[in-house]
Amino acid sequence: MPLYEMRKFVAPEFIFGVGCRRRVGYYARNLAARRVLVVSDPGVIAAGWLKDVQADLAEIGIESVVFHGVTPNPKDHEVMAGAALYAQERCDVIVALGGGSVMDCAKGIGIVYSNGCHILDFEGVDQVEVPGPPLICIPTTAGTAADISQFCIIVNTPSRYKMAIISKTVVPDVALVDPQTTLTMDPYLTACTGLDALTHAIEAYVSTASSPVVDVHALAAVTLVWHNLEQAVADPACLPARENMALGSLHAGLAFSNASLGAVHALAHSLGGFLNLPHGECNGLLLEHVIRFNMDSASDRYEQIGRAMDIDVQGMTERQRAARIVGEIGAMRSRIGIIDSLASRGVHLTDIPELAAHALNDACLVTNPRRANLGDIKVIYGEAL
């Protein structure tokens, strides 16, 4: 019998380092771009990052059109509007400049244009027949890793939940991961996106689809995020902390894109779409409760995660180990300003059946280390109230 199960590992070309965003013109030219659709949002534009991208494209004779109608938690109708603009302006390459919402919207725009379908038709795993146009991603946050992943998360507005589109066709062609762009994030956004990266790493490591290659990236991400997030929140101008957070997010993205995720993300997608809450905030409020639920099924894996955080859990029972890790995560979450519970954000006991129903159908639940049924999901939501 083989020692390891057969696993694939998918990653785009990426450059990591301060200033690498200025290579956008070079890569757009390599992709034979003549007219680029730059997908961004008002906050990123106000921070000044768009003008550099447009200048770098113009310098080598590439025209650009800007679509900035993207809100936090990108909506189905925003994707459709972007795809219409892409077709109307006869663009041939997409550049995504922003956080996870912008990058996911850009992915959606591409596949809608190429397939001539509505974005809602792509929900699930491997439901995209034709890849989108070439896509270059320049992330301005450190957490989502949409710039390198096989995931595209879009809000289904009629049903009020986030749907997951998982396909190799939405992996960007190039990611330019420039930590300098994260310097303009405010502390709370830094906290939310950082917890998203930490959750990616933890869920990938305990995933039933993990592999030795995934494990290397997942544990590296846990270490980097755990030891740098608080400093990035406390001192947003600290470039070394920002670099380590961007690198941690990159490692976490390589891990979860190939091992998928788990119950935290399944429940967070439902919750975030229902109340339009920041994704990382949802993860942060659910992570501790899911770890308790999962501990018996992945005790050794959580022990390794604890070690990566420099938490000594050796010799503890599974219950003691869960309590120690959960306690440390909860304390850190409070220190970076993500406090209280779901109830304080408007979730009511009567909302749980609808939230649980959507979470149960989320593709991320498939690779959770412990099988979760509808009743289990309702209990986890209830504990997080």
In this predicted structure, what is the pLDDT of residue 114?
98
- Matching fold, domains 13-181 and 185-384: no
pLDDT higher than threshold 90 for residue 318: no
In this predicted structure, what is the pLDDT of residue 283?
97
Give percent of the chain above pLDDT 70.
Answer: 100
In this predicted structure, what is the pLDDT of residue 315?
84
- Per-residue pLDDT reduced to its tens digit, 35-72: 999 999 999 999 999 999 999 999 999 999 999 999 99
Which band of pLDDT confidence, cut at 50, 70 and 90, is reported for residue 168? very high
Q: How far is CA 50 from the centre of its chain?
A: 22
In this predicted structure, what is the pLDDT of residue 103?
98
In this predicted structure, what is the pLDDT of residue 335?
98
- Which residues touch 81 (CB under 8 Å, ≥6 apart)? 67, 69
Exposure string of 210-227, with b = 16+ CB inside 10 Å and e = fewer, is: bbebbbebbbbbbbbbbe
In the chain, what's the furthest Cα-to-Cα distance? 63
How far apart, in whole angstroms, are the C-alpha atoms of residue 128 and residue 49? 31
pLDDT higher than threshold 90 for residue 316: no
DSSP label at residue 339: -
In this predicted structure, what is the pLDDT of residue 14?
97
In this predicted structure, what is the pLDDT of residue 138?
98
Q: Where are the domains of the chain?
A: 13-181, 185-384
Domain 13-181 adopts which CATH fold?
Rossmann fold (3.40.50)
pLDDT higher than threshold 90 for residue 324: yes
pLDDT higher than threshold 90 for residue 80: yes
User: Which DSSP string do the residues of 170-208 spell out, in sequence order?
Assistant: GS-SEEEE-GGGGGG--HHHHHHHHHHHHHHHHHHHHST
Q: How far is CA 160 from the centre of its chain?
A: 19
Domain boundaries 185-384, corresponding CATH code: 1.20.1090.10
Alpha helix ranges (H) inside 156-296: 187-206, 212-234, 239-259, 263-275, 279-294
- Please compute the mean of the pLDDT values over residues 80-97 and round it to a whole number: 98
In this predicted structure, what is the pLDDT of residue 327?
96
- Please compute the mean of the pLDDT values over residues 227-256 and round it to a whole number: 98
Mean pLDDT of the chain: 96
In this predicted structure, what is the pLDDT of residue 4?
85
pLDDT higher than threshold 80 for residue 1: no
Q: How far is CA 194 from the centre of its chain?
A: 10
- Please compute the mean of the pLDDT values over residues 281-294 and round it to a whole number: 97
In this predicted structure, what is the pLDDT of residue 85?
98
In this predicted structure, what is the pLDDT of residue 313?
84
- Please compute the mean of the pLDDT values over residues 268-295 and round it to a whole number: 96
Task: Tally the C-alpha atoms within 13 A of residue 344's C-alpha that lie toward its C-beta.
Answer: 8
In this predicted structure, what is the pLDDT of residue 64?
98
In this predicted structure, what is the pLDDT of residue 178?
98
How far apart, in whole angstroms, are the C-alpha atoms of residue 38 and residue 208? 37
How far apart, in whole angstroms, are the C-alpha atoms of residue 212 and residue 5? 10
